[in-house]
Amino acid sequence: MATIRKHRGKWQAIVRRKGQGSASKTFHVKREAERWARNQELKLDNGTFGKLLPNEVTLADLLIKYRKTITVTKKGAPQETRRIQRLLNDPISSLAADQITSDRLASFRDRRLNNGTRAAAIDLILIGHCLRVSINEWGLSLMTNPADKVKRPAPPKARQRRLKTGEYEALELASKKTRNCYLWPLVILAIETGMRRSELLGLTWDSVDLKKRTALLKDTKNGDSRTVPLSERAASTINILPKNSLLLFPVSDNAIRLSWDKLKKRANLDDLRFHDLRHEAISRFFEKGLSLPEVALISGHKDPRMLFRYTHLRAEDIVSKLND
């Protein structure tokens, strides 16, 4: 027998049966709660209770469950959470699972290509993995994953954006108007160390040794820990940070993202991304004469061949060397 109760101004339906588990859902209207409860009891009777029926569950339902159970375990959870929210606002999320066909996903991919091949590819991978988990682990009764038949967009050419003459100064000048006191030190450290934004935001005071001028990254993107050497400027920048928290930067990723967007707008550098500062740093390491293994040790690249794209020096720098 189902239980219908009022809870915090809404109606909660609870269905239980010994040996078959339980389910609950909250509704704004009591009649909807009663209708849902009757439907669940019918499923108990015919043996489909607890299963995800593809004609009843939408992609939005699956994405929300994926966000709660899978996304939260990932290192890139904040970014994927924002991506899922964008997908939830897309018409494709309103489709029932049995309406998600390869041709519809292909149309979705083509539409998303307007936002770039990388965005389209990541969205397609995310939807595909969500459906795979739903089929393999959550009991979604689909014979195949429609995303497996959809061709992913070709990866874009590797981005090679570096700071041009005067751009650093423009950023520094614009930073004087920012309210976020951590943003400019974060920019300096990104350029001096080549660390990713997430790695910088994860730095704790006990992971930094200013005497040895090193910083230990315990939880990096590739899963390994690494020790990053600190330049004199990096060490002095860290040394003046307030020590009122376990973290060097006690600020959220979203707060930094918003502050960065405002900063580059003030500096008239709308095309500059925070991750470009990592490219700038690694390029500077090579310009200083560091070897491939040395740069790989700092950057955390497991395959040194991935660093070849960072060695593109500017033509004017090479000309000056040729004339020496």
Q: Where are the alpha helices (DSSP H) in 137-182?
A: 167-175
User: What is the rounded distance in angstroms from the CA atom of residue 213 to the CA atom of residue 193?
Assistant: 11
| Residue-level length of the chain | 324
Residues linked to residue 208 through DSSP beta bridges, in sequence order: 215
Options 74, 159, 218, 221, the catalytic residue: 221
User: What is the rounded distance in angstroms from the CA atom of residue 92 to the CA atom of residue 127?
Assistant: 10
User: What is the rounded distance in angstroms from the CA atom of residue 90 to the CA atom of residue 4?
Assistant: 33
Options 275, 302, 312, 314, the catalytic residue: 275
Which of 198, 206, 213 lies closest to 300, judged by CA? 198
Q: How many CB atoms lie under 10 A from the CB of residue 233?
A: 13
Options 196, 197, 279, 284, the catalytic residue: 196
**Distance linking the first and last C-alpha atoms of the chain:** 89
User: What is the rounded distance in angstroms from the CA atom of residue 277 to the CA atom of residue 295?
Assistant: 15
Count CA atoms within 13 Å of residue 167 on its CB side: 18
Options 30, 129, 301, 309, the catalytic residue: 301
- Residue 113 per-residue DSSP state: G
- 28 noted as active-site residue: no
Q: Would you state the structure tokens that stand for residue 276, as one six-digit string?
A: 């470009």
- Residue 287 per-residue DSSP state: H
Options 43, 83, 264, 278, the catalytic residue: 278
Which of 145, 98, 105, 144 lies closest to 121, judged by CA? 105
User: What is the rounded distance in angstroms from the CA atom of residue 52 to the CA atom of residue 138?
Assistant: 7
| Cα 284 to the center of its chain, rounded Å | 26
- 301 noted as active-site residue: yes
- 275 noted as active-site residue: yes
Q: Which residues are catalytic?
A: 196, 221, 275, 278, 301, 310
